[in-house]
C-alpha cells in the first residue's frame, strides 16, 4: 500500500451543517418552517481543502460532495449500526475462496452525468485512472492484476494476491468510484482530467456538481436522469462559513436544517435539553485515540508507557467530553469493526503505578507534552483533562496544540519532534480491520504518527488480510496493546441536531461515512 489519507487530523478539522430556508432570501426564513423551493442550503465550516475528485479526495470535510455525485460498484447500507454490503452499480457479485477473483454483474439503464451509458468499459477506465492519478486512495486498486469485461454488463477483477478487504474497498466512501470513460478521454488534458474534475464531475450519483469555488461556495443539482429514487431537494447550496457560532445561531433561528457533526461539547447539552429540535446520535466508526511516543524520555520503557495509560481516567474523559454522543471504547479497533468479544482492551485505571515510577525519576524525565490537533476543541478539552490526571500522578505535563500539517510531518520520522502523548479523532478508510490495523500499527502505516510497531502486529495483520480471519486481527490488536503505544478512549457518534421538519436523517446516515448524509434520502414533512 502507498501513501494514506491522514484521517484523524483532517477529520477533526471538518464540521458540516445542512441548512434550508423557504425562498431565496435565507436571512428572512421563519424558524422551524420547511423550505418550499426544494433548495437545501448547506455550509462547510472550512473549505474541503482538496478537489472533489474521487481519485484525489482523501479527507473529511467534503465527503458530502463525493458521496453524492459519484457511485461505486457496492456500498454500505444506510440506517444501520453495523456495516452491511449492498448492491449499487453492481447488482450481484461473487468472491473466489482465496479472495483473488471477484465477478460482478452490472446495473443496466444507468448513465453518467455527461450522458454516457454505464457499462463494463467504465470499470476498467475508472480503475486505470485511479492508478494513473496515484493519490492517497490509489492503494485500493494497486494490487489489481486485471479487469476483464464479458460484454457490457459483466466484469471480472483479478488481484495479484489474496485480499479479504477488497469488497470493503469497493464499498467504502474512499473506494473506487465509476467515472465516464468518454468524459475522461474528452477532458483528459495533460493530467488525466484532474483539472476538469476540480469543478465538474463525471459520476452517476443523484447529484451533479455545478460549482466548486475554493474558499467560497459549492453547489449541487439533482441529476434528472438518475437511475434510482429521485431526490426531493433539487438544488443544494453550500457556502463556506468559517464561524461555528454563526452556524449555530442560524440553526437556532431556523435558517439551517441541521448541524451534522462536530458540535463542541458546550453546545451538545443545550440541544439535548431543547425539545424544539430533533437530535440524533448516529453510529460511526470514529474513535478518539491516545498515542504514546516510544522514542522519548521515560516512555522508551514499555512498562512506563503502560503505567501512563493506566493513569488516564477514561471514564472521566468520556463523561466530560462525549456525553450524548459517545461511549467508552472496549476495543482497540474503532467501533463497529470487529466482534465485541475480540480485540478487547483490559487496561485498569490505577494511577498509583505511574506515581511509583514518577517518584524515582529525575526532574527532566518527569516532563511530558500532550499534543492535539489545533482545529479540534474536544481534543483540547481531553488533553487538558489528561494533563490534570498525569500531574496528579507525579508528572510535569503541559498541553500543546499542533497544526494538522505538522502532525503529518511526524509520520515516518524518529518521533523526536513529536510530543510524548497525542490525542486525535480518527476513522478507518473501510470496515475491514486490516484498513485500521495496517495504517495505524504497521511500521509503514500512514497513521502511525509516533512510529511504534512490533513484528507480531505485522504478522497477524498479514494473515488476516489473506483470509479475513477475525481472530488474526484480534491477535494483531493484542500485540499492539502490548507495546503500550495506543489506547482507544471513546467511540464517537455523529451527533446531529435538526429542525423537526427535516425527514430521513437516520435513513440517510451510513455507519462507514462519518460527517455526511445521503442527500437523496432527505425530505420535508
pLDDT tens per residue across span 469-480: 999 999 999 999
Average pLDDT over residues 162-183: 97
Q: What percent of the chain clears pLDDT 70, i.e. is strictly above it?
A: 94
86 in helix, strand or coil?
A: strand
Asked if pLDDT for residue 204 goes beyond 80, the answer is yes
Query: What's the CA gap between 475 and 14, in Å, rounded?
Result: 33
Average pLDDT over residues 38-47: 83
Q: Which residues pair with 123 in a beta bridge?
A: none
Asked if pLDDT for residue 375 goes beyond 90, the answer is no
Q: What digits encode the pLDDT tens for the residues 289-303?
A: 999 999 999 999 999
pLDDT value for 377: 81
C-alpha 107: how far from chain center? 28
Mean pLDDT score of the chain, rounded to an integer?
Answer: 91
pLDDT value for 31: 59
In which residue are the cell numbers 470535510 written? Answer: 61
pLDDT value for 344: 96
C-alpha 468: how far from chain center? 22
Asked if pLDDT for residue 398 goes beyond 70, the answer is yes
pLDDT value for 376: 82
pLDDT band at 41; cut points 50, 70, 90: confident
Asked if pLDDT for residue 23 goes beyond 90, the answer is no
Q: What digits encode the pLDDT tens for the residues 361-372?
A: 998 899 999 999
Average pLDDT over residues 6-16: 35
Q: What digits encode the pLDDT tens for the residues 246-280?
A: 888 888 888 888 888 778 888 898 999 999 999 99
As a whole number of Å, the end-to-end CA separation of the chain is 46
Please give the angle made by the CA atoms of 321, 436 and 133, to the nearest 5 degrees: 115
pLDDT band at 28; cut points 50, 70, 90: very low
Could you list the beta-strand ranges (E) of 23-123.
Answer: 39-44, 74-76, 85-87, 90-95, 101-106
Q: What digits encode the pLDDT tens for the residues 403-429?
A: 888 998 999 999 999 999 999 999 999
Asked if pLDDT for residue 11 goes beyond 90, the answer is no
Average pLDDT over residues 197-223: 97
Contact (Cβ atoms closer than 8 angstroms) between residue 8 and residue 426 = yes
Measured CA to CA in angstroms, residue 83 lies from 33, 120, 306, 412, 432 at distances of 34, 26, 32, 31, 10
Q: What digits encode the pLDDT tens for the residues 83-93?
A: 999 999 999 99
Contact (Cβ atoms closer than 8 angstroms) between residue 202 and residue 193 = yes
Task: Tell me the HSE value of 171 on the side-chain side, using a 13 A CA sphere.
Answer: 24
pLDDT value for 2: 33
Q: Mention every residue, 6+ apart, whose C-beta is less than 8 A from residue 437.
A: 333, 457, 461, 464, 473, 476, 477, 480
- Report all structural domains of the chain as residue ranges with CATH numbers, in order of start: 40-235+498-524 (3.40.190.10), 287-492 (3.10.105.10)
Amino acid at each position: 500500500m502507498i501513501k494514506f489519507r491522514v484521517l484523524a487530523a483532517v477529520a477533526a478539522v471538518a464540521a458540516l451543517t445542512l441548512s434550508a430556508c423557504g425562498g431565496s432570501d435565507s436571512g428572512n426564513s421563519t424558524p422551524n418552517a420547511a423550505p418550499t423551493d426544494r433548495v437545501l442550503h448547506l455550509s462547510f465550516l472550512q473549505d474541503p481543502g482538496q478537489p472533489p475528485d474521487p481519485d484525489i479526495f482523501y479527507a473529511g470535510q467534503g465527503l458530502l460532495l463525493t458521496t453524492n455525485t459519484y457511485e461505486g460498484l457496492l456500498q454500505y447500507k444506510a440506517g444501520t449500526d453495523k456495516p452491511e454490503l449492498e448492491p449499487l452499480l453492481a447488482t450481484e457479485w461473487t468472491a473466489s475462496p482465496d479472495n483473488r477473483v471477484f465477478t460482478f454483474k452490472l446495473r443496466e439503464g444507468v448513465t453518467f452525468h455527461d450522458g454516457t451509458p454505464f457499462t463494463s468499459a467504465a470499470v476498467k477506465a475508472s480503475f486505470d485512472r485511479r492508478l494513473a492519478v496515484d493519490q492517497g486512495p490509489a492503494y485500493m486498486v494497486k494490487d489489481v492484476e486485471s479487469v476483464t469485461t464479458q460484454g457490457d454488463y459483466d466484469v471480472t477483477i483479478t488481484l495479484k494476491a489474496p485480499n479479504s478487504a477488497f469488497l470493503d474497498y469497493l464499498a467504502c466512501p474512499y473506494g473506487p468510484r465509476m467515472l465516464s470513460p468518454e468524459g475522461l478521454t474528452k477532458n483528459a488534458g495533460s493530467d488525466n482530467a484532474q483539472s476538469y474534475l476540480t469543478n465538474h464531475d463525471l459520476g452517476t450519483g443523484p447529484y451533479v456538481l455545478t460549482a466548486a469555488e475554493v474558499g467560497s461556495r459549492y453547489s449541487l443539482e439533482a441529476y434528472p436522469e438518475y437511475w434510482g429514487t429521485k431526490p426531493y431537494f433539487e438544488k443544494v447550496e453550500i457556502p463556506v462559513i468559517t464561524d461555528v457560532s454563526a452556524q449555530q445561531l442560524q440553526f437556532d433561528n431556523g435558517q439551517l436544517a441541521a448541524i451534522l457533526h462536530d458540535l463542541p461539547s458546550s453546545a451538545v447539552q443545550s440541544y439535548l435539553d431543547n425539545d424544539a429540535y430533533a437530535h440524533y446520535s448516529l453510529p460511526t466508526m470514529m474513535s478518539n485515540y491516545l498515542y504514546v511516543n516510544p522514542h522519548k524520555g521515560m516512555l522508551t520503557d514499555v512498562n512506563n508507557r503502560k503505567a501512563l495509560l493506566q493513569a488516564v481516567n477514561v471514564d472521566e474523559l468520556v463523561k466530560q467530553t462525549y456525553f450524548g454522543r459517545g461511549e467508552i471504547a472496549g476495543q482497540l479497533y474503532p467501533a463497529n469493526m470487529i466482534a465485541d468479544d475480540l480485540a478487547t482492551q483490559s487496561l485498569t485505571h490505577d494511577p498509583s503505578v505511574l506515581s511509583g515510577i514518577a517518584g524515582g525519576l529525575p526532574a527532566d524525565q518527569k516532563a511530558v507534552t500532550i499534543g492535539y490537533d489545533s482545529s479540534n476543541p474536544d481534543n483540547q478539552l481531553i488533553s487538558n483533562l489528561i494533563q490534570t490526571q498525569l500531574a496528579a500522578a507525579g508528572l510535569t505535563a503541559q498541553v500543546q496544540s499542533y497544526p494538522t500539517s505538522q502532525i503529518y510531518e511526524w509520520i515516518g520520522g524518529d518521533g523526536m519532534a513529536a510530543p510524548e502523548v497525542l490525542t486525535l479523532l480518527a476513522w478507518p478508510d473501510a470496515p475491514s480491520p486490516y484498513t485500521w490495523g495496517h495504517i495505524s500499527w504497521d511500521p509503514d502505516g500512514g497513521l502511525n504518527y509516533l512510529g511504534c510497531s512490533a513484528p507480531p502486529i505485522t504478522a497477524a495483520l498479514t494473515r488476516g488480510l489473506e483470509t479475513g480471519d477475525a481472530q488474526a486481527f484480534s491477535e494483531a490488536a493484542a500485540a499492539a496493546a502490548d507495546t503500550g503505544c495506543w489506547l482507544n478512549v471513546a467511540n464517537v457518534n455523529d451527533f446531529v441536531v435538526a429542525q423537526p421538519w427535516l425527514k430521513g436523517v437516520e435513513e440517510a446516515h451510513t455507519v462507514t461515512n462519518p460527517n455526511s448524509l445521503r442527500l437523496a434520502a432527505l425530505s420535508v414533512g
